[in-house]
Structure 1
């Protein structure tokens, strides 16, 4: 798998021990006692984009680059109004995706900044995992794509919300994995959440790398997450990047 090849390359080029200002949040249980779980994986957050390289650490399940969008958010908000049904799904190099998005997205102030920002994330994702092409999905959403807690059956995915409510996720200590998805006894969107657990949410602009169930060193322990609620009056602009 490409992710295995990239692991060696990244370990040769990046000294993860020297990445500074990263906050590792392993449980955040708010003084709630849970049963001891083996191999609890942490979530690392930072205002420094280099935090994304921490996804290669075996004890990390999600790396979050916390950032402010600035003028980029103005275009994202305008897109919810000018193209309320916008859906784009494709794959290619950053140059190809940049060209296509420039053609498809409606013209408005700061459009160029928005396309440049998406291209930046594509470049970072491709570099991190040694990819020639990246799968990109950019959608305006008026409903939750995946309303129930679940784990992606992939090695890793990048997600970011440009406008609206950010994705929701659970710490490992708050998860009951055998109740996720079809394992839930009822059609409850909270199936898989410990009765004393807490739902966490990414902020607008956050760039998160989430390990899936097929990450080589953490098989079956991917990040549990779901789409937040959305509606015609509370839309979201959501981006995800995948390995090709």
Structure 2
């Protein structure tokens, strides 16, 4: 059997005990299990592969129910794109879900086109819970507990929604992850990060 066929028929990697994976958003609720540090909602990206050349970096705090309006307002001066409204609606859907899971009414939203190697080193976030999705391009990479940082990482797929438990809730067991290093490749990514509102916001 050729190497390519060996790879094709290889058994899938076992899912670590501290990670939950599901095709319904309900899987994200498993993050409340003390043993779970990463919950992944598998889904296809709701956006087409857009041209991100003129996409501005967006960052704001808002009530979860007003996130779509905030995204639309922030994009009002950008060149109109058919997918902007779909993006606004999906970000609000995820913000509402995050607010329900955390019990926080207000959220911090960051949406940006990534072309370089920001956050390319493996790390754990100094937050309680962080929601991450990559609408297009390579998605966030993560390591099982105890894995050698030099070992091949696992990765979310574009569209997947990951709920990452940080050091505030998991201490030394917080999930280790990074942004895929893409500098010089010509690739880009559209990244969404949702947190609870940062304390310096007034």
- TM class by smaller structure: 0.7 to 0.9
CA RMSD in angstroms comes to 1.7
Alpha-carbon distance in structure 2 between the residues aligned to 1:125 and 1:234: 29
Runs of 4+ off more than 4 Å: none
Alpha-carbon distance in structure 1 between the residues aligned to 2:152 and 2:187: 23
- Residue 164 of structure 2 aligns to a residue whose secondary structure is strand
Establish whether residue 143 from structure 1 lines up as the match of residue 116 from structure 2.
Answer: yes
Aligned to 1:78: 50
Aligned to 1:210: 164
Aligned to 2:21: 45
Listed as ranges, the gaps of 5+ residues in structure 2 are 1-13, 198-202
Alpha-carbon distance in structure 1 between the residues aligned to 2:196 and 2:54: 30
Aligned to 2:100: 127
Aligned to 1:32: none
TM-score, reference length from structure 2: 0.83
Aligned to 2:179: 227
Q: Give CA deviations for 1:121-177 in whole Å, capped at 9, x if unaligned.
A: 0000001111110011101011121111111111110001011100111000314xx
CA contact (8 A) 1:63 1:208 kept: yes
Alignment of 1:1-244 (within 5 A): 25-26=15-16, 42-69=18-45, 72-74=46-48, 77-83=49-55, 86-105=56-75, 106=78, 107-175=80-148, 193=149, 197-215=151-169, 218-231=170-183, 233-244=186-197
Alpha-carbon distance in structure 1 between the residues aligned to 2:40 and 2:172: 21
- Residue 50 of structure 2 aligns to a residue whose secondary structure is helix
**Which one has a larger percent helix, Structure 1 or Structure 2?**
1
Corresponding pairs, count: 180
- Residue 146 of structure 2 aligns to a residue whose secondary structure is helix
Q: Give CA deviations for 1:70-122 in whole Å, capped at 9, x if unaligned.
A: xx322xx3241342xx2111111123322121122242223222211111000
- Residue 119 of structure 1 aligns to a residue whose secondary structure is helix
Listed as ranges, the gaps of 5+ residues in structure 1 are 1-23, 27-40, 176-192
TM-score, reference length from structure 1: 0.69
